[in-house]
Amino acid sequence: MAEIGHDINHAKEVLESGGLVAIPTETVYGLAGNALDSAVVTNIFNAKKRPSFDPLIVHVSSLDQAKEFVLEVPKEAEALASRFWPGPLTILLKRKSSIPDIVTSGLDTVAIRVPAHGLTHQLLKSLDFPLAAPSANPFGYVSPTTASHVDQQLGHEVDYILDGGPCSVGIESTIVSFESEMPKVLRLGGLSVEDIEEVIGEVEVNIHSSSKPDAPGMLKSHYAPKTEIVISDDLNPEFRKGTKGMGALVFDEYFDGISLENQFVLSETGDMNEAASRLFTGLRTLDQRPDITTIVTKFVPNIGLGRAINDRIKRATAKE
């Protein structure tokens, strides 16, 4: 169990002395440390048991601060950052050598974003270095959207948890790359493709589900609860009927044949943003019920944040 509180000054002291602090953002909680200190970044990888080929996002307080660490900002990147920062957008830019190799797993681009959370924004402004922060979960598991999610799994690995309440967006940032002619979305996330295209026109959506994806963290199986989770279409209908031990993660309508107390509804009113904000809590809640042995779920409508939700559902239900 870690110390949990709202004390920005304490968080700052811990970070300045090379420690790790879990920080709230609008997307998910991050496991943060000084991005310019390789030894600290190594500790982040170790705490998460994250493979070293999977680079981290660098968090800054403004677009101006981001510019200190990159060689150039393409026009479209600047347009997106100006419009959506602070917010759930991560952009990949050519890095300067001040960003250590370990942060980017040796890639020549660095992932950067300005998170939209009051406490973390103040913290970032008070520090004279940026924060490297992956989601604060053990590698491969569901991302944390409350301080207590972090404490349950990584409490023993962090020096302090800055509690900023539940994350308002609840799903990780959207990652955009500008390496090819047309900007490319490498991870669907809390900023919808529709919103991005409104500002910079058409983008390519290129999210791999493979063991060697473009965004190295986009492995086929990720965000996975420990309990078996299946898409309802893949279920044998006989198996589903009245089966004990069955739980369900549903969008706005209950499943027939599964007791209501075993079902987690993402949004009673069918609000996609609310559904996104409750997705990881839903997965965790069902995962922690010892009487539930199989979770059944369904894809949501593929619009707005629905695309990112469906991406997480695909990875959570992937078999490898």
Binding positions for ligand TXA, rule: CB under 6 A: 25, 27-28, 30, 54-57, 90, 92, 104, 107, 109-111, 115, 133-135, 172-173, 175, 186-187, 215-218
Phi and psi angles of residue 113, each rounded to the nearest 5 degrees, phi first: -155, 160
Q: Contact region for Mg ion (CB under 5 A) — 103-111, 129-137, 243-251, 276-284?
A: 129-137
Query: From ligand TXA, Mg ion, none, which one binds at residue 104 (CB under 5 to 8 Å depending on kind)?
Result: ligand TXA
Question: Which stretches of 25-171 are DSSP H helices?
Answer: 38-48, 63-67, 75-84, 101-104, 118-126, 147-154
- Nearest distance in Å: CB 101, ligand TXA: 11
Nearest position to ligand TXA, beta carbon: 217
Query: From ligand TXA, Mg ion, none, which one binds at residue 281 (CB under 5 to 8 Å depending on kind)?
Result: none
- Nearest distance in Å: CB 214, ligand TXA: 6
Cβ burial of 10 (10 Å; 0-12, 13-18, 19+) is middle
Contact by Cβ (8 Å): 262, 292: yes
Count residues contacting Mg ion (CB under 5 A)? Answer: 1
Query: From Mg ion, ligand TXA, none, which one binds at residue 55 (CB under 5 to 8 Å depending on kind)?
Result: ligand TXA
Query: From Mg ion, ligand TXA, none, which one binds at residue 27 (CB under 5 to 8 Å depending on kind)?
Result: ligand TXA
CA distances to 35, 85, 158, 265, 278 from 268, in Å: 41, 30, 36, 6, 11
Q: In what order do the strands lie in the sheet with 89-94?
A: 4-5, 160-162, 21-23, 30-34, 131-132, 57-59, 109-113, 89-94, 174-177, 184-187, 204-205
- Nearest distance in Å: CB 260, ligand TXA: 32
Q: Contact region for Mg ion (CB under 5 A) — 66-74, 132-140, 159-167, 287-295?
A: 132-140
Contact by Cβ (8 Å): 41, 58: no
CB of 108 or CB of 268, closer to ligand TXA: 108
- Nearest distance in Å: CB 141, ligand TXA: 11
- Nearest distance in Å: CB 176, Mg ion: 17
Nearest position to Mg ion, beta carbon: 135
Query: From ligand TXA, Mg ion, none, which one binds at residue 36 (CB under 5 to 8 Å depending on kind)?
Result: none
Residue type, 223: Y
- Nearest distance in Å: CB 50, ligand TXA: 7
DSSP code, position 140: T
Query: From Mg ion, ligand TXA, none, which one binds at residue 56 (CB under 5 to 8 Å depending on kind)?
Result: ligand TXA
Beta bridge partners of 205: 185
CB of 25 or CB of 135, closer to Mg ion: 135
CB of 104 or CB of 263, closer to ligand TXA: 104
Contact by Cβ (8 Å): 187, 218: yes
User: Is residue 135 at the binding interface for Mg ion, with CB under 5 A as the rule?
Assistant: yes
Written as one string, the DSSP assignment of 9-40 is HHHHHHHHTT--EEE--SSS-EEEEETT-HHH
Give Dmax (Cα) for the chain: 60
CB of 240 or CB of 284, closer to ligand TXA: 284
Residues that bind Mg ion (CB under 5 A): 135
